[in-house]
C-alpha cells in the first residue's frame, strides 16, 4: 500500500517512519520494504502468542493491527550492533499502536502467574517499558529531519511521554485470580488497577501504566479502540 498518496492516521504515520528508518539504515529498496514489514506488522492475537507453548493469551475475533515491537528489535539490533544474535536485542513489548487521540500504547502479554515474589517476571516487565521507550526515542530523533511524524514533541519528549504514552500489561485471569479481583474492584470505582511494582512507570515515565486480564482487555481496550 502506498500510504504516501493517502491521508494517514497516527498509526500509519509511525509505520511509515519505521519503514523509512529501515530503508535508510539497511539499504532496503522500496520494492522490498512491504515484504520485510510483514515480519513486524501483525495483529493483536498473534502479538499475544507465547512461542514456548503455542498459546494465544488474547484470542478475540476483532482484528486489531499492531506493530510487534519485540520482532522489530531484530532489525534495530542489526542496525546498532551489526549482529542478529537474539541475546543482543533490546527489551521491547509485544505490541505497539496509536489511537485517534495520539495516545501511544505499549502492550505486554504475560500468561504466567505474577506473584509478589516473582521479581524476575516483574523486572522483565519494567525493562521492556524502558527499553522500548529508549528505542522509540532513538528512532524518532534519528529520523527527525524526514518530517514523517508530526504528532511528537521533539522539544520535550519527557512531557510527551507523560501526556501521551500508556503501558498496559495483559495477564492471564486464570493464573492471576487476585489481580483479576483488583481489576474488577478498580473498574467499579471507574479507575484502572496499577500493581505496586508498575507504579514507577506511572509516576516517572508514562501517562499511565496498568494491568488487564485478557477478558477485560478485549472489553475495555480492543472493542473501544479507534485508529481515526
Grid look-up 507523560 returns 162
Using the CB atoms, write b or e for 171-201: b if 16+ within 10 Å.
Answer: bbbebbeebbeebeebeeeeebbbbebbeeb
**Grid coordinates given for 153:** 514533541
Global pTM reads 0.93
DSSP category for residue 221: T
The shares of helix, strand and coil residues in the chain, as percent rounded to the nearest 5, are 50, 15, 35
The one-digit pLDDT tens for each residue of the chain (228 residues) are 444 546 899 999 999 999 999 999 998 888 899 999 999 999 999 999 987 778 899 998 788 999 999 999 999 999 998 876 677 789 999 999 999 999 999 999 999 898 766 688 899 999 999 999 999 999 999 999 999 998 999 999 999 999 999 999 999 999 999 999 999 999 999 999 999 999 999 999 999 999 999 999 999 999 999 999
Amino acid at each position: 500500500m502506498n500510504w504516501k498518496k493517502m491521508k494517514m492516521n497516527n498509526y500509519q504515520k509511525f509505520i511509515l517512519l519505521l519503514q523509512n528508518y529501515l530503508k535508510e539504515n539497511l539499504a532496503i529498496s522500496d520494492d522490498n520494504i512491504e515484504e520485510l514489514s510483514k515480519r513486524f506488522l501483525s495483529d493483536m492475537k498473534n502479538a499475544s502468542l507465547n512461542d514456548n507453548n503455542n498459546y494465544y493469551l488474547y484470542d478475540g475475533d476483532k482484528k486489531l493491527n499492531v506493530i510487534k515491537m519485540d520482532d522489530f528489535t531484530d532489525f534495530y539490533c542489526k542496525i546498532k550492533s551489526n549482529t542478529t544474535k537474539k541475546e543482543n536485542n533490546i527489551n521491547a513489548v509485544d505490541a505497539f499502536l496509536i489511537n485517534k487521540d495520539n495516545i501511544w500504547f505499549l502492550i505486554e502479554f504475560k500468561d504466567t502467574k505474577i506473584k509478589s515474589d516473582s521479581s524476575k517476571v516483574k523486572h522483565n516487565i519494567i525493562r521492556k517499558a524502558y527499553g522500548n521507550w529508549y528505542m522509540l526515542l532513538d528512532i524518532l530523533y534519528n529520523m527527525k529531519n524526514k518530517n514523517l511524524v508530526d504528532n511528537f514533541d521533539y522539544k520535550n519528549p519527557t512531557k510527551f511521554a507523560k501526556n501521551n504514552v500508556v503501558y498496559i500489561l495483559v495477564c492471564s485471569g486464570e493464573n492471576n485470580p487476585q489481580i483479576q479481583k483488583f481489576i474488577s474492584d478498580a473498574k467499579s470505582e471507574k479507575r484502572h488497577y496499577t500493581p505496586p511494582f508498575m507504579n514507577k512507570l506511572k509516576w516517572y515515565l508514562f501517562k499511565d501504566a496498568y494491568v488487564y486480564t485478557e477478558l477485560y482487555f478485549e472489553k475495555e481496550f480492543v472493542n473501544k479502540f479507534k485508529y481515526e
